Every structure is written in structure tokens, then in C-alpha cells.
Chain A
Amino acid sequence: AQSVTQLDSQVPVFEEAPVELRCNYSSSVSVYLFWYVQYPNQGLQLLLKYLSGSTLVKGINGFEAEFNKSQTSFHLRKPSVHISDTAEYFCAVSGRGGYQKVTFGTGTKLQVIP
């Protein structure tokens, strides 16, 4: 079984400032890691995913995340945020291989302040 912890429920940040959204996971097996974004009253859109290889993963909209196995973390970063980045962000984890359920964190609301 896996679990995901997003420590920050809300993160306010000024426009054009950098941001980091934290995600820690727990698993007894090797995992895949994901970040999703959800705009109000919409479904989830995949931002980026870590499957294997380079621990620094680049996604859409200028976001990137770094997989740190020793710290079991997968923090999401963006060097300069825009108003349009205001949304809910979910970190997710699944086991590798075959059919594996995806477990979501509780989400972090990113509020970009003009």
C-alpha cells in the first residue's frame, strides 16, 4: 500500500515569484509518481510524471519536479508563477507494474496574488 502527504493545504505566492509545493510518499515497493492540476469544477490534468531515469522531471506549463528516493519526496516547483496557475495541485503515487491503483494526496491550493 502507498500513501501520499501534501503538507501544505494552501500556498499563497505573488505573481512572478517562485513556488514549491511539497509532496512526500510512503511505499514498500517501487513507485511511479505524478502531479495533477485541477481547475475549479474540472477534472484532473496531468502536469508531469516520474517513471524512471532522470530524477528531474519537466512537465507542462513550466513546472518541474524532482524525485528524491532517500527523502521519499517529489516536490513540484516553478520558477515564476502566473495568475493562471491558481488551482489545486494533487500529488499521486502508484506501484509499478501491472494494474496498480493510484493514491492521491489531499491537495495543495496554489493562490497566485497579483
Chain B
Amino acid sequence: GAVVSQHPSWVICKSGTSVKIECRSLDFQATTMFWYRQFPKQSLMLMATSNEGSKATYEQGVEKDKFLINHASLTLSTLTVTSAHPEDSSFYICSARDGRLGETYEQYFGPGTRLTVT
């Protein structure tokens, strides 16, 4: 089946620094990738959608200058949290759609990245 990986799985950083999270589709081409944020005991909130080779589309209320998304290839998307603050601490999950499928309704999820900002 389709596999999506994320790296790192867990990261601690100091306030004011930037952190990059990678999302890779290992055995398929992901024409579209999604980035979600999940707070403890809450559902997934879509942050942005990225299509390979084009700018990401951010959801309302998500600061695009703070959460930089790059989808440079069909197998890699990155999320960079710039000037991180403690309130950015969260579980970040990416997902990807397989571009080979005619009806690209199914998303494959990565294992998530736990970000803690001290």
C-alpha cells in the first residue's frame, strides 16, 4: 500500500528558532499533499494544501509567512515553522494523494511529527 513518512517524528526547539518537517511519499507520486495540525484530544485541522510545483493554498487563519510550505517534487513536501513559539507546539500530520488514481479522493497519512517549543 501507499506509504507516507515524516521526519523528524519528534523535535524540541527553542523559542525563536525555525523547524523544518519533511513529508515523503515512498512508493507513489503525490501530486497533492496536505498539512494538518492536531491539538491534544482534538481533531485534525487542515492548515494548507500543496500541489507539486505551485504555491500552497492556506486555510483561513493560518499564517503563510509563519508556516512555509514547499512541494518541490512529487514525493516531497516540507513544512517550516518559522520563529517558533510555545503556542506552535502541536502534532503536525501530513497526508498525500496518489496522482495516478483517477479519482483522487483517498489520502494517505504520515505518522506525524510532535513539535515542542520551549
Contact = CB atoms under 8 A, between A and B. Distances in A.
Interface residues of A, number: 23
Contact of A90 (B43, B110, B114): B43
A56 interface: no
B107 A41 contact: no
Interface string B16-55: 0000000000000000101000000111101001000000
Contact of B44 (A44, A49, A96, A100): A44
Interface of A: 32, 36, 41-46, 49, 51, 90, 94, 96-97, 99-102, 104-107, 109
Given A102-B34, A106-B42, 14 more contacts: A32-B105, A42-B111, A42-B112, A43-B93, A44-B44, A51-B105, A90-B44, A99-B49, A99-B104, A100-B105, A101-B46, A102-B46, A107-B41, A107-B43
Interface of B: 4, 6, 32, 34, 41-44, 46, 49, 91, 93, 95, 103-107, 109-112, 114
